[in-house]
Amino acid sequence: MKRINWNALDEAARNDALARPAQARAEELRRGVERIIAEVCANGDAALRELSARYDRCSLDAIEVGEAEFAAAEAKLAPELKAAIREAAARIEAFHRAAAPQPVGVNTAVGVRVERILRPINRVGLYVPAGSAPLPSTALMLGVPARIAGCREVVLCSPARADGTCDEAVLFAARSVGVHRVFKLGGAQAIAAMAYGTESVPRCDKLFGPGNSWVTEAKLQVSADPNGAAIDMPAGPSEVLVIADALANPAFVAADLLSQAEHGPDSQVVLVSPSAALLDEVAAEVDCQCAQLPRGAIAQQALEQSRLIEVESLAQAVEVSNRYAPEHLILQVSGARELVASIDSAGSVFVGAWTPESVGDYCSGSNHVLPTYGYARSYSGVSVASYLKQITVQELDPNGLRAIGPCTATLAAAEQLEAHRRAVTLRLAALGISL
């Protein structure tokens, strides 16, 4: 990991220090995704089968997972894994149900009622990766809030293995949280199928979930097309920033850094501390722990893009974190709760030495589908609100129009929108009021 003294850097060097690994939309990738989307739009299911054979090296008889496959998946899983999936789902539901938006009604003047009503997005598409490792936890994170929101149809795509089947844990998790239909599709072709529809895959209104660069590019392209589908958020590789003080446990800090580094070679991990000794200890501990990991080679590649940043104080560490806007922020400092008030840009915050980021990935109850690549400055993680349309309603009686009509007419005249003004003044005239 690259060692940096923050206060020895000028502004340009600080920008470089917090730069993410380059994620340029390479022309070859963009065109490749365009071709895949065009193939799916033109040839539907036939294209999905051909693309699955080409990229996932599997032959699909049936694109959709059938009841027998769900049953076989449940029978094959160990009881303790099924229990853990149900346990995690219950905690995710408890938090998301409590945090869900609520309808609102306010009288803003006498005779003027303004409301916000909530309606679920009718059909949503969830993407659950299964590249180097299947992610049943993502099925939970996406499926639970969709169920709470009451989406009429929840569709899920996850890549098939070489034998044409999906990961058993992903199927069990999907069925456990009420996903209605699951398709054995991965990559850009799965995004295209859910965005535009095929003979088998229904067209979805909004797409959710993480994925590789091809999936991310496909989501960006379909969201830019008026005939495509909305998406949850822009996304990039997984990342974590840890703020630690001199009293932090170096082994804990190193483990947290590596838990994100093992996601992929383009992941990034950052440690910010006012303690030079702690930075030294963590660097040594990272090397030791990384050598013991099954995915150590992947983590090692990520560490090449990672940083150890020395600052003068915890207050400055928070400034660095807010500037970076991490997907995950871990506060391994004494009095960690006191720092939370100063955090204004982070996808999810983990407070104190006993709160590893891993619990948020699986079963604390929060959501692990979070904005990355600095998008935490303006985006939030997936929640029930992500699956809802918030519609405002207003109703006036004659007294209400008397109360706010003159204000409306004055503002319409200032904007030189005469038809707007007359829509009010004609009604006021009918009530015997002349402006």
Cα gap 203→218, rounded to integer Å: 15
Q: What is the SS3 assignment for 278? A: helix
Cα gap 40→229, rounded to integer Å: 15
238 is in an annotated binding site: yes
Cα gap 279→427, rounded to integer Å: 71
Query: Residue 29: which residues within 8 A CB-CB, separation 6 or more?
Result: 213, 214, 217
Which of 281, 328, 357, 368 is labelled catalytic? 328
319 tagged catalytic: no
263 is in an annotated binding site: yes
Structure tokens at 8: 């020895």
Closest CA to 133 of 244, 212, 17, 49: 212
**Edge-to-edge strand list for the sheet holding 2-5:** 2-5, 307-310, 268-273, 239-244, 328-332, 348-351
Cα gap 187→69, rounded to integer Å: 21
328 is in an annotated binding site: yes
Q: Give me the residues paired with residue 112 across strands.
A: 109, 396
Which of 69, 262, 310, 327 is labelled catalytic? 327
Contact 229, 205 (CB under 8 A): yes
Closest CA to 387 of 191, 230, 264, 222: 230
415 is in an annotated binding site: yes
Cα gap 88→172, rounded to integer Å: 13
Vertex 359, ends 357 and 361: CA angle to 5°?
A: 75
What amino acid occupies position 42? A
Q: Give me the residues paired with residue 350 across strands.
A: 330
328 tagged catalytic: yes
212 is in an annotated binding site: yes
What amino acid occupies position 412? A
What amino acid occupies position 115? E
Which residue numbers belong to the known binding site for Zn(2+)?
Answer: 260, 263, 361, 420
Which residue numbers belong to the known binding site for substrate?
Answer: 238, 260, 263, 328, 361, 415, 420
Which residue numbers belong to the known binding site?
Answer: 127, 189, 212, 238, 260, 263, 328, 361, 415, 420
Which residue numbers belong to the known binding site for NAD(+)?
Answer: 127, 189, 212
Residues designated as active site: 327-328
